[in-house]
Structure 1
Amino acid sequence: MIDGFPFAGAPEDYNISEDVDLPVPVEAGIDFETGEVLLDESGQVKLVEGIEAIKVWCYLAIKTQRYAHQIFTEEYGSQHEELIGYEYTKELTETEAYRYINECLMKSPYVLGVKNLGVHRTGDKLNINIEIETSYGTDRLKGVA
């Protein structure tokens, strides 16, 4: 067997660059209140880019249950639905929901930080108000969980 398998050379020889130029993100526009795809005047899917595309990615990632769909990698989606059906305290539920959402969104190379402006459980509903810091600026997502 080769020494250092599966690596060749010494670790200091590896070129690992953290300054990767990411392409401008582009997504189909989403109405965040209804979850429906936005259409332009001609009935075609409206494309959004930059921070709006990142918000769409975040919205869809939060709405997707992690590990539930084989089409997505195991890294995509949120686990906050695991809190459903348990009688945790309101505070624990809200803290854990934010943690799950933060872990989910930080998978994107465009998301630099997630600030909790309010995650609240009302009955069986979880309402979130978060601020997303991205490489394109900062914006908010509300009520998407």
Structure 2
Amino acid sequence: MAEQDIFPYLQPTAATPAAALPVMRECAWDFVRDAPVLRGGVPVIVLREQAVAVWAWNALHTERFRWPCFSAGYGNEANALIGQSYQPETKRAEVQRYIEECLLACPYISAVTGMTVEAAGDRLTVSFSIISIYGEIKMEVEQDVG
């Protein structure tokens, strides 16, 4: 019996090379209204880095494990911090971890860098850069951790 049969979870998995991924496509998103962009009732489609930004925005604003229409790997778990009596530094660190886990689930995203977390009461503003196969995308999101 081969070692891989005994311990299949120990086998390294290679990342999908960028060339093997199809061009990313998403429905354009109005980040201010938090709604899809429609033209004549038809969704506007964006490609590449704009599509990655839309995917990231929506994944970060979707509570993980809440909606059965999404896979278990999709969404953000920062809502789990609401009502927890963690120290502010612990909440900041957990928000960073949750955001990184959420974004790195996308095969088009290779890294999340330069993350800063600013607190105002129970609200955290998180700024960071997403390194995607299409380049760098700057993003800022707010998380309620009351």
The TM-score bracket by the shorter chain reads 0.7 to 0.9
Q: 1:110 aligns with which of 105, 108, 118?
A: 108
- Structure richer in helix, relative to its length: 2
Same amino acid, percent of matched pairs: 30
Q: Distance in 2 between matches of 1:72 and 1:101?
A: 17
Q: TM-score, normalised by structure 1?
A: 0.81
My pick for the range that moved more, 49-58 or 109-118, is 109-118
After TM superposition, the runs of 4+ consecutive aligned structure 1 residues lying more than 6 A away are: none
- Structure richer in strand, relative to its length: 2
Calculate the aligned-residue CA RMSD, in Å. 2.3
Q: 1:53 aligns with which of 51, 54, 65?
A: 51
Q: TM-score, normalised by structure 2?
A: 0.81
5+ residue gaps, structure 1, are 8-15
Residues 1:126 and 1:73: Cα distance change in structure 2 (over 3 Å): same
5+ residue gaps, structure 2, are 6-13
Give a deviation string over 1:50-100, Cα, whole Å, max 9, x none: 011011111111111111111111111111111111122221111110101
Partner of 2:120 in structure 1?
122
My pick for the range that moved more, 87-96 or 47-56, is 87-96
Larger radius of gyration: 1
Counterpart of 1:142, as a letter, is: E
Q: Distance in 1 between matches of 2:15 and 2:124?
A: 39
